Structure formats: C-alpha cells, structure tokens
C-alpha cells in the first residue's frame, strides 16, 4: 500500500531517531544525511535496512549513495511503493 510523502517522512524520522538519537523534528526534507544530520555510513546502512522493513521496499546498495537528502529517500521509497 502506497503511503503519503508525509507518512514516509514521519516513519523515516522515527527510524533516524531510534538509530542515532537525532530529534525527529530535525529530520526535514531538505536536510542532508551526512552534512546536516551528521549520519555516518554505518548508521545510514542501518537506516536503509530498517526503512526497507518498515516500508516494504527494496533499496539496492547501489542506490544508497544517491540518497543524499531526506527528500531523496522519501521520493525513492514513495516511487518504490507505487
């Protein structure tokens, strides 16, 4: 079932918070995972795997490097769900 972008953003923010302790409110669409949120590559892999489980999608390893901002991830997940 496809979810709205807001639902995906909220779900992603929860995953980021659980993994890194970053406040969910800080996980905004235009934030960069590495530059703004200071998320390292190990944490990013964990977020990706948790997102796959939560949203029922597959995010190929080759795609992960393209997910620079939160919006990139939300858009990819939304597209994969459609």
Partner 1 sequence: MTSIRDRRVVVTGLGATTPVGGTVPETWEAILAGRSGARTMDFDWVSKYELPVTFAALIDTQPIDVLAKVETRRLDPSSQYALIAAREAWADAGAPEIDPERLGAAIGSGIGGVWTLLDQWDVLKEKGPRRVYPLAVPMLMPNGPAAAVSLDLGARAGAHTTVSACASGAESMGYAIDMIRTGRADIVVAGGTEAAVHPLPIAGFAAMQALSTRNDDPAAASRPYDTGRDGFVLGEGAAVIVLESEEHAKARGARIYAELASVGMSADAHHITAPEPNGSGASRAMLFAVERADLAPTDILHINAHATSTPVGDVAEYNAIKRAFGDHTENMSVTATKSMTGHLLGAAGALEAVITILSVHHRLVPATINLDDQDPEIPLNVVKGEHQKLPDGDIAALNNSFGFGGHNVALAVRSY
Residue 17, classified by CB atoms within 10 Å of its CB into exposed (0-12), middle (13-18) or buried (19+), is middle
Give the number of residues in contact with partner 1, rule: CB under 8 A: 11
Classify 39 as helix, strand or coil.
Answer: coil
The residue assigned the tokens 């901002």 is 69
Q: Closest distance between partner 1 and the C-beta of residue 41, in Å?
A: 9
Q: Which of 49, 68, 79, 81 binds partner 1 (CB under 8 A)?
A: 49
1 binds partner 1 (CB under 8 A): no
Q: Would you tell me which residues interact with partner 1 (CB under 8 A)?
A: 18-21, 42-43, 45-46, 49, 52-53
């Amino acid at each position: 079932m496809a979810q709205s972008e807001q639902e995906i953003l909220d779900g992603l923010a929860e995953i980021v918070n659980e993994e890194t302790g970053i406040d969910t409110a800080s996980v905004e669409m235009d934030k960069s995972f590495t530059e703004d949120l200071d998320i390292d590559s190990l944490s990013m892999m964990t977020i990706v795997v948790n997102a796959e489980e939560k949203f029922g999608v597959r995010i190929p390893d080759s795609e992960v490097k393209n997910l620079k901002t939160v919006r990139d991830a939300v858009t990819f997940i939304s597209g994969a769900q459609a």
